[in-house]
Amino acid sequence: MGILGIIAHHGYAVVALVCFLASAGLPLPISIVLLGAGAAAHSSLSLAILIPLAWFCAVAGDSVLYCGGKYTGWWLLSGLCRMSPNPEKCIFRSAAYFYRRGPKTLLFAKFLPGVSSMAAPLAGSLNMRYARFVRYDAAGVLAYVSAWTMTGYLCSRFITDVVRWVQELGHAVAFCVLALLIAYGVMYLIVHIRNRKYRMIERVTALELHTKLQEAHNPDRLVIIADVRSHGYYDPGGHRIKNSIRVEPSRLKEELIALREFMQPECEIYLYCSCIKDTTSVRIAHMLQQENCKTAVIEGGLKAWIKAGGEIEMVPATDIEHLPRFD
């Protein structure tokens, strides 16, 4: 049974599930499903039910991401970008787009790859009121759902022919899909090989470092703990490791100038972030080592430090970069 057959027999359930899960962040082909549902509206489905159902489920999925962004900050954004070769660029590109255009981004975000899954959590992290968010998001989702569904309805004969051609050319299509998978695998392998240089970065557990600092009352080496968390601001009431300094990873060249005074053989710099697998800390540590600076990464970042009983402090107001807030 082809995709049109599945949608024809289980149309409403398939559309509802895919629209919700795709809007909640899973990489599902929502546009293809809406096209197929629109084509099936000539026979087994009703547009009067299909469009409101898809609209409601997509808005519900976006609301889940909005709440995630509101209550977890940039942790969720880094998770959504974890499959990107450069998670920071993924976040900053989407954030910059949102900052420039503000809440109206939600009106067309669904049509923009990349921005579509980031707009809702960004709105939440920037403290946009939910009533305002859902007003813009609902309008944008309605336009998106209607556009794809009506395209499928109006082009149903063409879509049916395409599906038939795909079925008839099954081996050729399978070869193309296999080629794409191989290309993705090669790209992933290249990124993996490129990141092998980071394996040599020294790592230390938060407990080991905390114990070392507790026991060394008069250390013979200067110890610097640097906060390199990848976002350029902190959530309200944010904390950092006590007496740590801020190193902004997106402005590392400029930050290196300020760090020159610490880059001496008798100095040790420990880096921490909040990324999955300490991605930012490892990258910055590698760049600092190229500047002949002895560095190590604190495994697990700030959370591991707190768990180990390390002291923390509020992030100073001078270290906070105030970004637009749509409250």
Q: What is the pLDDT of residue 317?
A: 75
Q: Which of 19-23, 115-119, 179-183, 193-197 has the lowest average pLDDT? A: 193-197
What burial class does residue 327 get, using C-beta atoms within 10 Å of its C-beta: 0-12 exposed, 13-18 middle, 19+ buried?
exposed
Whose tokens are 């970069």? That residue is 321
Mean pLDDT taken over the chain: 77
Q: What is the pLDDT of residue 185?
A: 74
Amino acid in position 241: I
Domain ranges of the chain: 3-194, 203-319
Question: Which position has the higher pLDDT, 319 or 142?
Answer: 142
Q: What is the pLDDT of residue 266?
A: 62
pLDDT tens digits along 221-266: 678 888 887 655 565 667 889 888 888 776 666 666 666 655 555 6
Percentage of the chain beyond pLDDT 70 is: 68
Q: Which of 57-71, 149-163, 185-199, 307-321 has the lowest average pLDDT? A: 185-199
284 pLDDT more than 80: yes
Q: Yes or no: say if 265 and 234 are a contact pair by the CB < 8 Å rule.
A: no
Q: What is the pLDDT of residue 256?
A: 65
Q: What is the pLDDT of residue 135?
A: 94
Q: What is the pLDDT of residue 252?
A: 65
- Listing DSSP states for 135-176 in one string gives HHHHHHHHHHHHHHHHHHHHTHHHHHHHHHHHHHTHHHHHHH
**Average pLDDT, integer, range 307-315:** 89
Q: Which of 93-107, 129-143, 178-192 has the lowest average pLDDT? A: 178-192
Closest CA to 246 of 324, 322, 295, 315: 315
Q: What is the pLDDT of residue 59?
A: 96
Percentage of the chain beyond pLDDT 90 is: 14
Question: Which position has the higher pLDDT, 80 or 18?
Answer: 18
136 pLDDT band, cuts 50/70/90, is: very high
**Average pLDDT, integer, range 129-139:** 93
Greatest mean pLDDT range, 82-86, 190-194, 291-295: 291-295
Q: Which of 1-5, 52-56, 218-222 has the lowest average pLDDT? A: 1-5
1 pLDDT band, cuts 50/70/90, is: very low
298 pLDDT band, cuts 50/70/90, is: very high
286 pLDDT more than 60: yes
Write down the number of H helices and E strands in the chain: 13, 7
3-class SS letters over 168-213: HCHHHHHHHHHHHHHHHHHHHHHHHHHHHHHHHCCEEEHHHHHHHH
CATH topology of domain 203-319: Oxidized Rhodanese; domain 1 (3.40.250)
137 pLDDT more than 90: yes
Between the CA atoms of 38, 177, 171 and 42, what dihedral angle is there, to the nearest 10 degrees? 0
Closest CA to 319 of 267, 241, 223, 206: 241
